[in-house]
A and B are shown apart, each in its own frame.
Chain A
Amino acid sequence: EAQVTQNPRYLITVTGKKLTVTCSQNMNHEYMSWYRQDPGLGLRQIYYSMNVEVTDKGDVPEGYKVSRKEKRNFPLILESPSPNQTSLYFCASSLSVSYLNTEAFFGQGTRLTVV
């Protein structure tokens, strides 16, 4: 089944403790991205990657890191989480920015709470 898989689905952590949220897709998509969703603010892009070893900042990249060493994986890293990073996070993928008329697929989300 074609899908985007995020792990974990739920995470509670303490301020300053490094964490990684994994994202994997099995559709051979070139483009992957991370969003956060907050009440009243909607979905905002954190980082995106157009292909392996190519990553760029989205609208709200502060406090986050990403890497794209393999085509299928795009982990989101919080080096020193803070309470304002408490949010619902989504990973998405799409075939390619060379073929922009393509559908975006989203993972099931990771609910992160930083205390």
Chain B
Amino acid sequence: KQEVTQIPAALSVPEGENLVLNCSFTDSAIYNLQWFRQDPGKGLTSLLLIQSSQREQTSGRLNASLDKSSGRSTLYIAASQPGDSATYLCAVWDSGAGSYQLTFGKGTKLSVIP
């Protein structure tokens, strides 16, 4: 069964700093990987989708990479801002045991200090 791990569980950085969030998964036979942002008590906002054939995707200050063979993805946030404070979730889409689903990590809670 696919397992997704996100490290660190929480991160606090000063405004303006560049930072990296890590995601690892146990089964490399994934279809794609998606990064989400979740604000407290709110829904999930999709940030980036990396297809299995891709190695990275960029959107504004965000850059996500994917290394399927090693089961790893990173989300790079440049020039962090207080508005970036949220929980960031990594999820992989697979069909393990015949059940099509997104398997989520437990997230990294980011706090950007002004």
Contacts and interface: CB of A to CB of B under 8 A. Distances in A.
Interface of A: 31, 33, 40-43, 45, 48, 50, 56-59, 88, 90, 92, 97, 100-109, 111
Contacts of A50: 100
A104 B43 CA distance: 13
A109 B32 CA distance: 23
18 contacts: A31-B100, A42-B104, A45-B99, A58-B99, A88-B41, A97-B100, A100-B95, A101-B31, A101-B53, A103-B34, A103-B46, A103-B49, A104-B46, A104-B93, A106-B44, A108-B42, A109-B42, A109-B43
B72 interface: no
A88 to B, nearest CB: 8
Contacts of B95: 97, 100
A18 to B, nearest CB: 25
Contacts of A105: 46
Nearest to B93: A100
A107 B43 contact: yes
Given A100-B31, A101-B32, A45 B101 contact: yes
B113 interface: no
B95 to A, nearest CB: 8
Contact of B52 (A101, A107, A108): A101
A45 B102 contact: yes
A41 B102 CA distance: 15
Nearest to A6: B43
A92 B91 CA distance: 13
Contacts of B31: 100-101
A3 B26 CA distance: 31
Nearest to A40: B106
